[in-house]
Amino acid sequence: MSSRIWARNRETRGKWPPRVSDNRQSPAKPALPVPAPFRRTKNKCLRRRFRVTVTRDRVILYRMTLAHATPAFHPHGAPSRLERTLAHARSAFPILARRNYLNSCSLGALSNRAEERLGDFTALWHELGAAAWYEHWWASLSDLRCRIEALFAAPDGTVALMPSTSACLASVTSSLDWKRRNRIVTTELDFPTLLYQWKVRPDVEMVVLESPDGVHIDPQQFADAVDERTLAIATSHVFFTTGAIQDLAAIAGIARRAGAYSLIDGYQGAGQVPVDLPATGVDFYTSGPLKWLCGGPGLAYLYVRDELIPQLEPTVTSWFATEDQFHFNPGEFRYHRDARRFELGTPALATVHTAIGGQEIVDEVGMAAIRAQNAALTERLVGRLGMAGFSLRVSDRPETRSAIVLVRHESPGDAVASLAERGIIVDSRPGVVRVSPHFYNTLDEVDETVEALAATV
Ligand SMILES: Cc1ncc(COP(=O)(O)O)c(C=O)c1O
């Protein structure tokens, strides 16, 4: 495969409709021939690993994944392909040359690719003004939706661009039949915005499961809590409080068997843990570019299971949710046939562009490689912290451990400040220092952080 296809062409970037069969583009879309294997394929793996892009005069294939899941580090000999890929990806994040940045669970690092995409956006704004919408930005929205669908291994038309997780939850909530059932099962380990959706509604009964070990919720707890009054199980993919990864297929199955929905907050999941949403059977999944997808603040992603989409009509809505958006007819509203029926107005375009930049890197490295690298960094962190005598609030099983590592500490705020003086960026929550490496970090950075933390006790 020639190197020409690895990089986007500067001249035509942004003009490209990102998906051959995408009927969601602006009307002026050239129909060009597409190579037969790609036109025909329904093979998800193939579709995930390659992106077909049609320019005005040629068809270009992008390889989405540069590396496969192999051990993260070879202690001896030449660097492996994965090491080279990771080193290359690392060089795209300028902060890493200045700081030891281990706080991706709060905010993913900014890459120069994201900055470049943002620069393209502002340059077009200067150059074309509103005309940039039709030729470029409309396609960027579609590009991002498509990339996130690929990230979720989800069918076309199942992802909506939203302003925030809270907005996703509000929109989904408005589409459900609360007269039929009015109980939500959630947990004490979930992010507060999830619970707040229903805390403010006196008509909704919330069951908040407690974690026996302060780290996990056993799927059986969900099974015991759901009944014929339960409208949804609402919980996280990865708990921000403990980093524990939940079994989405088990949760979705429990909800489905009880006639309830599964609504998953995946903000701490997507980007650090591979997600195949159709395989799990979850009904709703929310995420966003802010953290593990390295795309910045101002946007969120809402996945809705495709069979559900035509059945749901959100009552919090916008002109982006209607099929005839450009008829500008206030007297008529028809829901979009795809997940855009959940959208809530013009997405934050600057973030759309930084998110595409971050997503390009994530796609190039590949989720399997990211998970393998993050697991290697996490195991090193957990092992070294244990040796240094720290008590951790993390899963005891590596397979359900993510790269969010909570370290019990007497004065977490002081420890974070002390590390910051040494150029190490981590975070704190009550009673804990939170360390969250990502694929762009190294084992040396992990070791340096443990050493610095040990000096704070
Ligand atoms: C698990 C989780 N959900 C949601 C959010 C943010 O929600 P919103 O996008 O509404 O600000 C965060 C952010 O910190 C989070 O960690």
- Residue-averaged pLDDT of the chain: 87
Taken in order of first residue, the domains within the chain and their CATH numbers are 1-64 (no CATH), 81-110+366-454 (3.90.1150.10), 140-363 (3.40.640.10)
Say which residue the tokens 């899941």 belong to.
Answer: 69
pLDDT tops 50 at residue 369? yes
Query: From the CA of 265, how far away is ligand 1's center (Å)?
Result: 8
pLDDT tops 60 at residue 23? no
- State if residue 191 touches ligand 1 by the CB under 6 angstroms criterion: yes
Euclidean distance between CA atoms 367 and 262, whole angstroms: 24
Euclidean distance between CA atoms 297 and 86, whole angstroms: 24
Query: From the CA of 346, how far away is ligand 1's center (Å)?
Result: 20
- Please say whether the beta carbons of 63 and 38 come within 8 A: no
Query: If we measure between CA atoms, which residue out of 314, 311, 268 comes closest to residue 292?
Result: 268
Residue of minimum CA distance from atom 8 in ligand 1: 165
User: What pLDDT sits at residue 280?
Assistant: 98
302's CB contacts (< 8 A; 6+ apart) are: 159, 160, 162, 168, 171, 172, 284, 285, 286, 339, 342
Query: If we measure between CA atoms, which residue out of 261, 209, 280 comes closest to residue 239?
Result: 209
pLDDT tops 80 at residue 73? no
pLDDT tops 80 at residue 283? yes
User: What pLDDT sits at residue 81?
Assistant: 84
**Confidence band for 77, pLDDT divided at 50, 70 and 90:** low
**Confidence band for 178, pLDDT divided at 50, 70 and 90:** very high
Determine the atom of ligand 1 nearest the C-alpha atom of 238: 1
pLDDT tops 80 at residue 102? yes
Of 51-60, 237-246, 320-329, the poorest mean pLDDT is in 51-60
pLDDT tops 70 at residue 64? no
Query: From the CA of 236, how far away is ligand 1's center (Å)?
Result: 10
pLDDT tops 70 at residue 293? yes
pLDDT tops 70 at residue 92? yes
User: What pLDDT sits at residue 454?
Assistant: 98
Query: If we measure between CA atoms, which residue out of 234, 141, 137 comes closest to residue 195?
Result: 234
The residues pairing with 429 across neighbouring beta strands, listed in sequence order, are 432
User: What pLDDT sits at residue 44?
Assistant: 41
- State if residue 285 touches ligand 1 by the CB under 6 angstroms criterion: no
Strands 205-209 and 183-187, by their bridges, are: parallel
Determine the atom of ligand 1 nearest the C-alpha atom of 105: 16
Task: Please give the average per-residue pLDDT across 344-354, as a whole number.
Answer: 98
User: What pLDDT sits at residue 71?
Assistant: 37
- State if residue 164 touches ligand 1 by the CB under 6 angstroms criterion: yes
- State if residue 242 touches ligand 1 by the CB under 6 angstroms criterion: no
pLDDT one-digit tens code per residue, 381-417: 999 999 999 999 999 999 999 999 999 999 999 999 9
- State if residue 193 touches ligand 1 by the CB under 6 angstroms criterion: yes
User: What pLDDT sits at residue 31?
Assistant: 38
Task: Please give the average per-residue pLDDT across 75-83, as a whole number.
Answer: 73
Task: Please give the average per-residue pLDDT across 64-76, as a whole number.
Answer: 39
Task: Please give the average per-residue pLDDT across 433-445, as a whole number.
Answer: 98
- Please say whether the beta carbons of 289 and 299 come within 8 A: yes
- State if residue 190 touches ligand 1 by the CB under 6 angstroms criterion: no
Ligand 1 pocket test target in 162, 168, 240 with most atoms within 8 Å of CB: 240
Task: Please give the average per-residue pLDDT across 63-85, as a whole number.
Answer: 56
Euclidean distance between CA atoms 86 and 302, whole angstroms: 29
pLDDT tops 60 at residue 24? no
Strands 261-265 and 230-236, by their bridges, are: parallel
- Please say whether the beta carbons of 50 and 20 come within 8 A: no
- State if residue 303 touches ligand 1 by the CB under 6 angstroms criterion: no
User: What pLDDT sits at residue 76?
Assistant: 54
Kindly report the pTM of this predicted structure. 0.85
Of 1-15, 151-165, 337-351, 442-456, the poorest mean pLDDT is in 1-15
What percent of the chain has a predicted confidence (pLDDT) above 90? 81
Task: Please give the average per-residue pLDDT across 83-104, as a whole number.
Answer: 96
- State if residue 287 touches ligand 1 by the CB under 6 angstroms criterion: no
**CA separation, residue 419 to residues 30, 379, 448, 455 (Å):** 54, 21, 10, 9
What is the side-by-side order of every strand in the sheet holding 284-287? 159-162, 300-304, 284-287, 261-265, 230-236, 183-187, 205-209
- State if residue 187 touches ligand 1 by the CB under 6 angstroms criterion: no
Query: From the CA of 105, how far away is ligand 1's center (Å)?
Result: 10
Query: From the CA of 193, how far away is ligand 1's center (Å)?
Result: 7
